[in-house]
Structure 1
Amino acid sequence: MNTIDLNADLGEGFGSWAMGDDNALLDVVTSANIACGAHAGDPSIMRAVCRRAADRDVAIGAHVGYADKPGFGRRFIDIEPAVLRDEVISQLATLDAFARIAGSEVRYVKPHGALYNTIGHHEEQAAAVVEAISDYDRSLPVLGLPGAVWLRLAEEAGLTVVHEAFADRAYTPDGTLVSRRLPGAVLHDGPAIARRCVAMATGAPITDIDGGKLKLQPESICVHGDTPGAVQIAQRVRQSLWDAGVVLTPFAA
């Protein structure tokens, strides 16, 4: 029996400004990457999204990132590793408090945006993030892209590593994501996205940006919530997986 987790980035508003439809996506996904107040989010949003996730038995993950709300955490910051370590710990602890108030807990960690991309290759920052998670709670799984430096360091540190794939992002032939700055990097065709998610979940290859065949074997698939038609695309993905006999379940139950 094939199983897969669906995750999405949630809680990325700030004050009265909203990003995406958190409530609708919580009815679709099995894991919620909730912003921890650095790149987005605030205490009231964290509390509300944690409560709604707990009510739906959706696993709560800490979506840690650079402290850069104006840039939505998508700009590289040349930060001292020790400072980055402590910022990640602070973000983890803050979200975990609201998750516990909701009757749940933080069950995994997934970095956001520029931090996610940077620690894929930046040894010092990657080590800082791994140290933060190890210091806070060594039982927390970490979610990321196969081949990332930080996942190698996490594995060496004894953390549980979980590989993910992206429903609506184009891939290079070597399995990395096509830069958002390039045409065709983000996919918008709902039926095509759903078909490739079924392929990912069942071990079939997908088509890379050059037209070749690429086989991914993720334990979790990320469906973005901040693109046009995101909820409808996510709903189509979920239904297509169900129709294909794929069981949706959190990887960090």
Structure 2
Amino acid sequence: MTTLDINCDMGEGFGAYTMGDDLALLDHVTSANIACGFHAGDPPTMRRVVGAAFARGVQVGAHPSFPDLQGFGRRNMQVSPNDAHAMVVYQVGALSGFARAAGGRLNHVKAHGALYNMAAKDRALADAIARAVHDVDPTLILFGLAGSQMIAAAEALGLRTASEVFADRSYQDDGSLTSRGQPGAMIEDVSRSLAQVRQMLSGSVRAVSGRDVPLRAETLCIHGDQPGALDFARSLRAALQSDGVVLEAPRHG
């Protein structure tokens, strides 16, 4: 029996600005990664999305980022391991507070944007993030790109991990995601996305070069900010359920 978590980045509005239909998307995912204020999100949004996720039985995770509201956390920043540790502790602690205030508990952590992509290759940065998560709560699950330094760093500290794959992104030969600035980085066609997910559940993904790259698929990300995200999520979930895949989130210890 194949089990898969479906996660979505959420709570990425800010002030008067909204992004994505969080409440509708929550009906189609099993985990929610909620922005913590550094790249998007604000206290009312955090509280609202956390409460809505718990009401639907969706697991709640923190989605920390570089401090980059203007660039939506997608611009690379050079920070020391100590500063990266402090940033992640601050953001995870904030989201954990909202989870407790809503009568629940934080389940996982997934870095956002440039922080995520840099840590996938930079072991020192990955170590700092993993150590921050461990220092806040060693029972939290750390989501990271399948086969990346983030997974290795978390495992070295004894953290539980969830190897993440992407339904709506293309891959390179080293298992990294195609940069958003390159053609073909985003996959918007549901049938093509589903074909990629099915291959990933069998243990590999076809890179843009045509090469099949081995990977482990435990949690599947869909992006709430892409066009047609709700229809995309609904169709993908229905197809996976039709395939007999059990959709279930990993749970903290």
TM-score by length of 2: 0.95
Q: Residue in 1 aligned with 2:174?
A: 174
Q: CA deviation at 1:48?
A: 0.1
Q: Residues 169 and 187 of structure 1 are in contact (CA less than 8 Å); yes or no, is this contact kept in structure 2?
A: yes
C-alpha deviation, 1:118, in angstroms: 1.1
Deviation per CA, 1:130-166: give whole Å up to 9, x if none: 2211211111111011232232121111111210100
Which residue in 2 is equivalent to 1:232?
Answer: 231
Alignment of 1:72-87 (within 5 A): 72-87=72-87
Superposition pairs of residues 86-101 of structure 1, within 5 angstroms: 86-101=86-101
Residue 47 of structure 2: aligned partner? 47
Counterpart of 2:171, as a letter, is Y
Please tell me whether the aligned partners of residues 130 and 142 of structure 2 are also in contact (alpha carbons under 8 angstroms).
no
- Count of residue pairs the alignment pairs up: 252
- 1:219 is aligned to 218
Consecutive unaligned residues in structure 1, runs of 5 or more: none
Q: Is the 8 A contact 1:194 1:236 kept in 2?
A: no
Contact 1:191 1:236 in 2 (8 A): no
Q: Which segments of 5 or more consecutive residues in structure 2 lack a partner in the other structure?
A: none
Partner of 2:246: 247
Amino acid in the other structure paired with 2:103: G
Q: % of aligned pairs identical?
A: 44
Paired residue secondary structure (1:143): strand
Question: What amino acid is the match of 1:41?
Answer: G
Whole-angstrom distance in 1 between the partners of 2:139 and 2:35: 20
Distance 1:167 1:133, change over 3 A: same
Report the Cα offset of residue 204 of structure 1: 6.0
| Structure 1 Cα separation of the partners of residues 215 and 130 of structure 2 | 24
Higher deviation after alignment, 170-179 or 104-113: 170-179
Q: Secondary structure at the match of 1:223?
A: strand
Partner of 2:115: 115
Cα offset for 1:205?
4.6
Aligned-CA RMSD value: 1.5
Deviations 1:29-60 (A, max 9, x none): 00000001111100000000000000000000
Q: TM-score, normalised by structure 1?
A: 0.95
Contact 1:32 1:59 in 2 (8 A): yes
